[in-house]
Amino acid sequence: MNMKSIIFSLICTCGAFGLHAAVNSSANPVKSTVVEAKSAAKQLVSINQASQQQLEAIPGIGAKKAQAILDYIKDKGPIKNQQQLTEVKGIGEKMAAKIATFVSFS
């Protein structure tokens, strides 16, 4: 094997490795974006510190229910658990269960 053959082999090997690394690095941003989206989705809204807009972002909560939650907290203090959430006007057992998956009570 002469020197030109060795250099050519090295260039091909490095090129193939570089292409493999480029393909993997282009896949990683997509994967990391999915992971970031999932972790963002798992972040809970602190119901006792949330703004009207944050509450309205919870599925099933519109402007009226968000305001009812804020009024309840203002009048009676922090909501401590899912059961107490049912005391808010317009929120029953099913809605409280749904909301509880998106909020923390701390």
Between 15 and 59, the more confident residue is 59
pLDDT at residue 22 above 50? no
Report the predicted TM-score, pTM, of the whole model to 2 decimal places: 0.61
pLDDT at residue 10 in the model = 57
Range of the domain at 7: 1-42
Residues 70, 59 share a domain: yes
Claim to verify: residue 19 and residue 49 sit in the same structural domain: no
Torsion angle of the four alpha carbons 13, 19, 24, 27, in this order, in degrees rounded to the nearest 10: -170
First to last CA, the chain: 72
20 and 32 in a common domain: yes
Q: 9 pLDDT band (50/70/90 cuts)?
A: low
Mean pLDDT of 15-41: 48
Q: Which residues contact 66 (CB under 8 A, 6 or more apart)?
A: 52, 55, 56
**Residue length of the chain:** 106
On whether both 32 and 55 belong to a single domain, the answer is no
Q: How confident is the model at residue 43 (pLDDT cuts 50, 70, 90)?
A: confident
Same domain, 49 and 64: yes
Pair 99, 74 in one domain: yes
Helix (H) or strand (E) holding 30, with range, is helix 3-42
Q: Are residues 99 and 55 in the same domain?
A: yes
Predicted pLDDT at 106: 85
- Domain count of the chain? 2
